[in-house]
Amino acid sequence: MTMFSSRNWREYPQRYRLEASKFKKSGKTYFPPRAVDPETSDTVQEKVVLPDTGKIVTYTVIRTAPGMWADNAPYALAIAELTDGTRLMAQVADCDVNEVKIGMEIRIEFRRIQTESHHGVLSYGYKFVPKWY
């Protein structure tokens, strides 16, 4: 199925610049941004940019991947908790997949994610890399 590139373009603020929403009442940050705070129903928020470092809280290595990911396998996929407590999912690049561990310190980098996506365009976004790299 071909999708228009506007679908990709709409996500640029999040995927390129890590923009998130921080709600006034709870002080909680959500990524991607959302209109309503699930905890307080608050809608008053400010735009913030996520910190670019954190540590891995869980991970897997995808060894058998479908479709467009088949050539990438094996690749590591992880959820990291950033220094402000926000969590997000991304691939872990620039290291041996077998070295990825819970507690590993990471930095977020701007990377190419998909070469021929259903958007029909090159898609960029973020990946985790080891902090020491």
Residue 105 Cβ vs other proteins, minimum distance, rounded to whole Å = 16
Which among 51, 60, 54 is positioned nearest to 104, based on CA atoms? 54
Whether the Cβ atoms of residue 26 and residue 42 lie closer than 8 Å to each other? yes
CB count, 10 Å around CB of 21? 19
Min CB(30)–other proteins separation in Å: 8
Question: One symbol per residue from 20 to 39: x for binding other proteins (CB under 8 A), - otherwise; what is it?
Answer: ----------x-x-----x-
| CB of 85 closer than 8 Å to CB of 111 | no
Q: Are strands 53-62 and 29-30 parallel, antiparallel or unpaired?
A: unpaired
Q: Map residues 1-20 to x or -, x wherever contact with other proteins holds by CB under 8 A.
A: ----------x--x------
Closest to other proteins by CB, 69 vs 130, is 69
- Footprint of other proteins on residues 60-99 (CB under 8 A)? 60-67, 69-70, 72, 75, 77-79, 87-91
Residues binding other proteins: number (CB under 8 A): 33
Q: Give the Cα separation of 53 and 46 in Å (integer).
A: 21
